[in-house]
Amino acid sequence: MNRQLQEYERWRAEPQRFWLEAAQALHWTRTPTVGCDLSDAPNGRWFGDGELNACENAVDRHVAAGRGEHTALIHVSAMTHSERRISYAQLLDEVARLAGALRRLGVKAGDRVIIYMPMVPEAVFAMLACARLGAIHSVVFGGFAARELAVRIDDAKPTLILSASCGLEPGRVVDYHGLLCKAMEHANHQPSHCLILQRPQGPATLRAEIDIEWQEALRDAPRVDPVPMPAHAPLYVLYTSGTTGKPKGVVRDTGGYLVALAWSMPNVYGTNPGETFWAASDIGWVVGHSYIVYGPLLQGCASILYEGKPVGTPDAGAYWRIVEQYRVTTLFTAPTAMRAIKREDPDGKFMREARLDSLRALFLAGERADPDTVRWAAEKLDRPVIDHWWQTETGWPMVANALGLGLLPIKPGSPTRALPGYQIEVLDSEGCALPPNTQGELVIKLPLPPGCLPTLWNDPAGFHAAYLRAHPGYYTTGDGGHIDEDGYVHVMGRIDDVINVAGHRLSTGELEQALAGHAAVAECAVIGVADALKGTSPVGLVVLKAGIGVAAGSPAAATLVAELVRRVRDEVGPVASFQRCHVVTRLPKTRSGKVLRATMRAIADGRPFDIPATIEDPAVIDEIRAVLEVRHD
């Protein structure tokens, strides 16, 4: 039997013992004797009698073990054409002194600290310094504008904010300090101070009395030791929404999170101490928290912190040159990044030019990985391409082909089977279990495993309403899909992305899969728009591969659209009523790569909408509006 299946059965047989054994990978100041305390029903809390410090486990223990000279962080900036290598000993010094500076400014265990910074090493220092003190960090993605930052300030009520003078994007300098100042003008809560990292590309004029320059704060700061924290103490709060109304602050507990990450690094990602792990994401997202910062450092890896894009900084070969130069063993990115690379380099020329012998596998997550992109990447890389499924709420993968346990057969379109800790089922809207290969709601039987959210910040009622109320005894993932006869989970998209066409429920993922299989299509999206006759009808938007030479609105585009419509009818069936499809130059996306389907639906239906603050390029909305506002009733 495959080791992944063995580990899953071992967990099923003795779940408490399984996770208590996994907890032995960490250094505890008080070793837990209790796994999951189910008195806090229906979810439960993990390792309640344990005590540890996240920073000590990520940094100090490696130095104590004689690995201080090993590389911990590699900062690669395509924006400044520079690199910076930081050893574990150097990381310990930076973090311990910054923690001392924060303590002098009044930060203590349990306080919240907002971190609003670009992809620079000091942002990682800030996260670890907070963890060292037992303070709760809340990283706000740098793509958020002043209003969204203000909402988070008022919800978290931070003692302190750590920021930078600017961030760097292709062709522009982002005024972080200016955005922070505007946010504080709108916020009711005011932190005592703001610590500002001055970057030479855009220095800020600091405000008297509230702003403190980063290096000035570090001057003569004492090095402080890590503060032991209860395992159930919050490590961080990460907001998943909040542009209007009350934001949703996902709480991450310390002990369960570290145990889950420490188990996942060797078992899921197959990564060993001393190797180079690269999650090509941002620290403002959960991937950055789990697999740029805490996961790789817990494992004693070198983690790459990349300030750049998959294409355009300078070209579609950026990822592969980094893999070659730094001997990356495991690369983790979003499917949208691969689609962008595929669009610019469909023949894989840049991959062939790079020496990629160190790379064992490419992991994809963050959105559905369409089979065409998975097959393309696997063919061009000649490596396993592993789609895996998880959420901000879970903090680590729910479903994955575990590289470190021996790969199961790959089925493009499925992230494979559930990992230990997750009993995943498919229910209908009434809560009844569905048979294999039947579409429904993907849910997880409670209690959730270590690492998953125990609650929402200051909102236990909202936690219950959002995740537990719909199906008592289960966590509702919000995703739809099915489980096949081999136990493989197929995630087809958010439940609200299911289109009801004349009474027939169709997954947008199924329709997108058919479109993406066309040789000319680089990426695509399908949305459901209001239809007077059928209730809802599907509309496709496709971006073509580079070099196809078909202009939007041209006769050639019309011919291609006809081919795509026939393809969907052939693969999904006439029940889809798929008749509208548009060739566009780009899809509207957030900076993390998620396609803005809700925004496009609002445009198509003529409803008012706000352009999300995290949109990658607001200009793309004009093109989308031009094609979607043309009614075809």
Asked whether residue 48 carries a pLDDT value surpassing 50, the answer given is yes
Q: Are 72 and 160 in contact (CB under 8 A)?
A: no
529-543 average pLDDT score: 82
Adjacent-strand bridge partners of 363 = 332, 386
Asked whether residue 112 carries a pLDDT value surpassing 60, the answer given is yes
538 and 457: one domain?
no
Adjacent-strand bridge partners of 138 = 114
CATH number for 540: 3.30.300.30
Number of other residues whose CB lies within 10 A of the CB of residue 225: 14
- Residue 558: what are its φ and ψ, rounded to 5°? -65, -40
Q: How many CA atoms lie within 13 A of 379 on its CB side?
A: 12
Q: Show contacts of 99-103: CB within 8 Å, 24+ apart.
A: 99/55, 99/129, 99/130, 99/132, 99/133, 99/223, 99/224, 100/221, 100/222, 100/223, 100/224, 101/195, 101/217, 101/218, 101/221, 102/129, 102/130, 102/133, 102/135, 102/160, 102/195, 103/133, 103/222, 103/224
Q: Which residue has the tokens 């924060």?
A: 102
Asked whether residue 164 carries a pLDDT value surpassing 80, the answer given is yes
Residues ≥6 apart with Cβ < 8 Å to 136: 110, 111, 112, 113, 130, 156, 234, 235, 236, 237
| Nearest residue to 548 via CA among 579, 511, 515, 585 | 585
Confirm whether 241 is domain-assigned.
yes
515 and 428: one domain?
no
- Run of H or E residues at 626: helix 620-628
Q: Which residue range forms the structural domain that includes residue 213?
A: 3-308+388-481
Confirm whether 129 is domain-assigned.
yes
Q: What is the pLDDT of residue 42?
A: 77
Tens-digit pLDDT profile for residues 431-466: 999 999 998 999 999 999 999 999 999 999 999 999
The pTM score is: 0.85
Helix, strand or coil for residue 154? helix
- Residue 131: what are its φ and ψ, rounded to 5°? -60, -35
Q: Which residue has the tokens 């796994």?
A: 35
Confirm whether 497 is domain-assigned.
no
Residues ≥6 apart with Cβ < 8 Å to 175: 165, 166, 202, 204
Confidence band of 570 (pLDDT split at 50, 70, 90): confident
Tens-digit pLDDT profile for residues 593-605: 778 888 898 898 8
DSSP character string of 522-554:
EEEEEEEEEETTTEEEEEEEEEEPTT----TTS
Q: What is the pLDDT of residue 157?
A: 98
523 and 433: one domain?
no
DSSP state of 495: G
464 and 546: one domain?
no
| Nearest residue to 122 via CA among 95, 145, 141 | 95
- Residue that wins the pLDDT comparison between 287 and 537: 287
Confidence band of 533 (pLDDT split at 50, 70, 90): low
Confirm whether 324 is domain-assigned.
no
Q: How many CA atoms lie within 13 A of 13 on its CB side?
A: 6
Domain tally for the chain? 2
Confirm whether 194 is domain-assigned.
yes
Q: Are 595 and 588 in contact (CB under 8 A)?
A: yes
State the alpha helices, DSSP H only, in 318-438. 318-326, 335-344, 349-353, 371-381
Confirm whether 543 is domain-assigned.
yes
End residue of a domain, out of 449, 481, 513: 481
31 and 108: one domain?
yes
61 and 143: one domain?
yes
461 and 522: one domain?
no
Confirm whether 137 is domain-assigned.
yes
CA pair distance 67, 65, nearest whole angstrom: 6
Structure tokens, 145:
């504008």
477 and 528: one domain?
no
Structure tokens, 350:
């840049």
CA pair distance 297, 13, nearest whole angstrom: 31
Number of other residues whose CB lies within 10 A of the CB of residue 384: 16
CA pair distance 258, 404, nearest whole angstrom: 18
Q: How many CA atoms lie within 13 A of 42 on its CB side?
A: 14
Q: What is the pLDDT of residue 222?
A: 97
Q: Are 254 and 55 in contact (CB under 8 A)?
A: no
Confidence band of 505 (pLDDT split at 50, 70, 90): low
Confidence band of 136 (pLDDT split at 50, 70, 90): very high
Confirm whether 330 is domain-assigned.
no
Report the percentage of the chain scoring pLDDT > 90: 76
Mean pLDDT of the chain: 92
Confidence band of 633 (pLDDT split at 50, 70, 90): very low
454 and 522: one domain?
no
Structure tokens, 421:
């800790």
| 400 burial via Cβ count (<10 Å: 0-12, 13-18, 19+) | buried
- Run of H or E residues at 362: strand 361-364
Q: Would you call the peptide bond into 435 cis, given omega within 30 degrees of 0 as the criterion?
A: no
> What one-letter code names the amino acid at 235?
L
CA pair distance 507, 495, nearest whole angstrom: 8
Confidence band of 632 (pLDDT split at 50, 70, 90): very low
Tens-digit pLDDT profile for residues 419-438: 999 999 999 988 999 999 99
Q: How many CA atoms lie within 13 A of 353 on its CB side?
A: 12
474 and 555: one domain?
no
| Nearest residue to 402 via CA among 235, 271, 542 | 271
311-330 average pLDDT score: 97
How far are the Cα atoms of 237, 393, 410, 548 from residue 524, in angstroms, in the given order? 33, 26, 23, 15
Tens-digit pLDDT profile for residues 193-252: 999 999 999 999 999 999 999 999 999 999 999 999 999 999 999 998 533 346 789 999
Q: Are 531 and 606 in contact (CB under 8 A)?
A: no
Helix, strand or coil for residue 194? strand
Q: What is the distance of C-alpha 199 from the center of its chain?
A: 26
CATH number for 438: 3.40.50.12780
| Nearest residue to 135 via CA among 159, 158, 110 | 110
Buried b (16+ CB within 10 A) or exposed e, 485-524: eeebbbbbbbbebbbebeeeebbbbbbbbbbbbbebbbbb
Asked whether residue 178 carries a pLDDT value surpassing 50, the answer given is yes
Residues ≥6 apart with Cβ < 8 Å to 352: none
469 and 582: one domain?
no
CA pair distance 35, 49, nearest whole angstrom: 9
Asked whether residue 123 carries a pLDDT value surpassing 50, the answer given is yes
Q: Are 344 and 309 in contact (CB under 8 A)?
A: no
264 and 400: one domain?
yes
